Structure 1
Amino acid sequence: MKKIVSLLSLCLALGLPSLAFAAPEPTASAADNGFMMICTALVLFMTVPGVALFYGGLIRGKNVLSLMTQVSVTFALVCVVWVVYGYSLTFSDGNNFFGGFQWTLLKGIGLKAVMGTIYQYIHVAYQASFACITVALVVGALAERVRFSAVLIFSLLWVTFSYFPIAHMVWANGLLAKDGALDFAGGTVVHINAAIGGLVGAWVLGKRSGFGKEAFKPHNLPMVFTGTAILYVGWFGFNAGSAASANEIAALAFVNTIVATAGAILSWTFGEWAIRGKPSLLGACSGFIAGLVAITPACGYVGVGGALIIGVVGGLAGIWGVTGLKRFLRVDDPCDVFGVHGVCGIVGCVLTGVFASSSLGGVGYAEGVTMGHQVWVQLVSCAVTIVWSGVVAFISFKIADMTVGLRVSEDLEREGLDVNSHGENAYNQ
């Protein structure tokens, strides 16, 4: 034994390689790769058809195909932009706000390149699904009066200058990550980001013709329920997949997603029952989404008890968001993008800072961090996202308005976008 130790010491002294001290090469795990491919497919399924069906059922029948077309084509647009330069701007080395261009068109990514225990190509695909659904969420706030060409121009500009930098800031060692912000699966990057983009768009577009004078009711609640069910199942890929491995954190995120969603469904249903006198399917579906949004930033950091509280609070906050806050803002947001994704995203992001505490069952803070400091960091991350997304959205909508016009004429709006923008009808007339 002494001779072996002496030999190793001699190798080190002479700078000779020693297998005993060589750093292990990163290796891909078949289980983790399979898990992440399934999660990626689930998140893609959330957008098409999940978001398309959910939003489509919420609006009037004469515009359902226009919204589904917007979701489908922006999905394709973001996919292409993602591989051309989006992935590189988000995850390659850069500064506090943007990555670089070294992975443009995915050049430099080898077939066997590994990130953690998964192949980098799977990471590319998984993160693409997040970018796609974020842009799809925005279009719900623009429904029933926006030009299709304007949606495409906005989507290209906004995903480039809002989604990519915020994702870089939070998930790729950018400004907010360095500050210690916690966002496990997209509270700031996806939900608050999209909600602010939608809110600004609804404000710039103005209210739909007849809003406040005519009834604007969901035209197909079974379609809303179907979309909700797809989103619920897909969300497990969204949350558990953000662990990037089939490990104990993925298991924690999985169970927290179940518990928080159940809590929000109940709090929304009973809250609506108390306010309106009747519980509704639409309220239950809204509770699903509210709970899922609220737990998204927290699911891998908090304990099950914390997840339940976040879900219950998220459900109640969502009711306020689509009733009291919506009336206060006086903005026509047909699919309540801000009322649910914005309000519940902020609630979940802030409460992550509370319930991540190990004393409350969470995984604990970074060394030396207190609850007060973490909550402050969470508030700052929300504020940065709100301001950044809002400014980029306003400029993007204005550019779209100056180039192709943002809104269809009142006559075309009243007839419906399905037939006028796309030459189709969803239902026999």
Structure 2
Amino acid sequence: MKTRLSVLLLGCLLLPGAALAAPAVADKADNAFMMLCTALVLFMTIPGIALFYGGLLRAKNVLSLMTQVTVTFALVCVLWVIYGYSLAFGEGNAVFGNLDALLLKGIGLTDLVGTFYKMIHVAFQGSFACITVALIVGAFAERIRFSAVLIFSVLWFTFSYVPMAHMVWGGGFLAADGALDFAGGTVVHINAAIAGLAGAYLLGKRAGFGKEAFKPHSLPMVFLGTAVLYIGWFGFNAGSAGMANEIAGLAFVNTVVATAGAILSWIFAEWMARGKPSLLGACSGCIAGLVAITPAAGTVGVGGALLLGLIAGVAGLWGVVVLKRWLHVDDTCDVFGVHGVCGIIGCLATGILTASSLGGTGYAQGVTMGHQLGVQALSVVVCVVWSGVAALIAFKIADMFVGLRVPEEQEREGLDVNSHGENAYNQ
């Protein structure tokens, strides 16, 4: 009798929902999925951003931009494992984590985040940090000193990217408030766009801007960079589900649909306004749709994603044509016009389109649309102010030590030869 009772009790303990929950177990499929997604996001920076931005510039500056992207990528990688990950995802206060995981101290090879290894989480989140800093340099390309880029990158990464990541994803006050940012609308796109806008203002307009024609030197390069970014973005959005599950599937489909909608709306709006549809417009619409769906990819329905993409295409075109003129700014690669405008729209729309009545996954229990929209608006405001102040301070410090801008004669000759001693093309 005692033996039968013991067997019965043991069986109860092994049943799902038993009082003693089973320990977390690593899932091979989830680990493989997250490593693939991490590689895709890294692919977005080198070569994606480098090719996309490089093609938009004049031929005499393409290598300078590619060098800035490559070296800031490496710089952020190193800073991320030294202290960035710890401050972003360690337990701390409302703004910063702690320094317990300096140089990834204390993170074991078998430690888990959900069902995948924590080391992969370090790499995945680090890839987001790398691309965010790389996005910024497109706003003030063709006139900034390389040394100033490096000083700015260290300071802004430390005092803007890291705290925003902690506030939204690491358990900080915006996370506690219920902000929805599935894959980086605030942390990545708005954050980078505001910093880029600040830099464009502080450096001033390029020599000859408004008087000379500044055309992209290689639209095929822009197209190739766009294609790389589009492919990599599936790692960006689907990977933010944290496992190969139904939310990853939803994010994947939403990314396809929103992007397609934005390409079409940008092209047709451009066609109506300018008389001709362009490849540059299609590429720009692609990026606009990807940016807008990023914060919403895992919570809105497919219909909501299509609507968001259609809005983003027109909004992005307005941002780079009308808003840029209103702001009187020389944002070289239209970082704010696309990433800023569409990032803000995507973040706010997430608060509306996540509603289950609109096909989304629904809000947290007891949360209304009005409340969620308010939280989303607060996260946008916090990001704009925080990134703007951090960027201004970082640029001023860089200016104080090395100066921000190259001399005009070097700028006119080109940064490739003057800053790096190279030419992209044989003359």
TM-score normalised to structure 1 length = 0.96
Aligned match for 2:421, one of 406, 420, 423: 423
Q: Find the counterpart in structure 2 of residue 206 from structure 1.
A: 204
Identity %: 74
Task: Tell me the residue number matched to 1:307.
Answer: 305
How does 1:35-46 map onto structure 2 within 5 Å?
35-46=33-44
Distance (Å, rounded) in 2 between the aligned partners of 1:349 and 1:162: 18
1:191 aligned partner, one-letter code? H
1:202-255, CA deviations, whole angstroms, 9 ceiling, x for partnerless residues? 000000000000001100000000000000000000000000100000000000
Please list, as runs of the form range in 1=range in 2, the aligned pairs for 1:297-336 lying within 5 A after superposition.
297-336=295-334
**2:347 paired residue number:** 349
Q: 2:104 aligns with which of 103, 106, 115?
A: 106
Where does residue 411 of structure 2 map in the other structure?
413
Q: Distance in 2 between matches of 1:166 and 1:403?
A: 26
SS at match of 2:208: coil
- Taking the aligned partners of 1:48 and 1:35, their CA distance within structure 2 comes to 20
- How far apart are 1:25 and its partner, in Å? 1.4
Q: Does 1:95 align with 2:97?
A: no
Q: Which runs of 4+ in 1 moved over 3 A?
A: 1-9
Letter of the 1:415 counterpart: E
Q: Residue 190 of structure 1: CA displacement?
A: 0.2
Instruction: Specify the alignment match of 2:389 in structure 1.
Output: 391
Equivalent of 2:372 in 347, 365, 374: 374
Separation in 2 of the partners of 1:179 and 1:352?
A: 15
Tell me the CA shift for residue 154 of structure 1: 0.2
2:248 alignment partner in structure 1: 250
Post-superposition offset of 1:327: 0.2
- The answer to whether 1:220 aligns with 2:203 is no
Give the Cα–Cα distance (whole angstroms) in 2 for the partners of residues 106 and 230 of structure 1.
30
1:280 CA displacement: 0.2
Quick one: distance in 1 between partners of 2:161 and 2:7? 56
Task: Give the deviation of 1:172 after TM superposition.
Answer: 1.2
Counterpart of 1:61, as a letter, is A
Matched AA of 1:355:
L
Specify the SS of the correspondent of 1:21: coil
Cα deviations across residues 300-322 of structure 1 (Å, max 9, x unaligned)? Answer: 00000000000000111001100
Structure 1 residues not aligned, in runs of 5+:
13-18
Partner of residue 161 from structure 2, selected from 163, 166, 172: 163
> Aligned partners of 1:129 and 1:303: how far apart in 2?
27
- Deviation per CA, 1:288-338: give whole Å up to 9, x if none: 000000000000000000000000001110011001100000010010000
- Which residue number corresponds to residue 188 of structure 2? 190
Q: Which residue of 2 aligns with 1:277?
A: 275
What amino acid does structure 2 have at the position aligned with 1:258? V
Shift of 1:8: 6.4
Q: CA deviation at 1:123?
A: 0.3
Aligned counterparts of 1:20 and 1:48: Cα–Cα separation in 2: 48
1:24 deviates by 1.8
* SS of match in other structure, 1:363: coil
Q: Secondary structure at the match of 1:323?
A: helix
1:6–1:67: structure 2 CA closer, same or farther, 3 Å change rule?
Answer: closer
- CA-to-aligned-CA distance 1:47-83 (integer Å, 9 cap, x gap): 0000000000001000000000000000000000000
- Rounded to whole Å, the distance in 2 between the matches of 1:200 and 1:400 is 13
Q: 1:77 aligns with which of 72, 75, 78?
A: 75
Q: 1:6 to 1:68 in 2, by over 3 A?
A: closer
Flag structure 2 segments of 5+ consecutive residues without an equivalent.
none
Given residue 201 of structure 1, which amino acid in structure 2 is its aligned partner?
A: G
SS of the residue aligned with 2:398?
A: helix
CA distance in structure 2 between the aligned counterparts of 1:102 and 1:385, rounded to whole angstroms: 26
Partners in 2 of 1:381 and 1:274 — Cα distance? 35
Amino acid of the structure 1 residue aligned with 2:96: F
What is the rounded CA distance, in whole Å, between the counterparts of 1:229 and 1:23 in structure 2?
A: 45
CA RMSD of aligned residues (A): 1.7
Distance 1:324 1:287 in 2: 16
Give the secondary-structure state (helix, strand or coil) at the position aligned to 2:212: coil
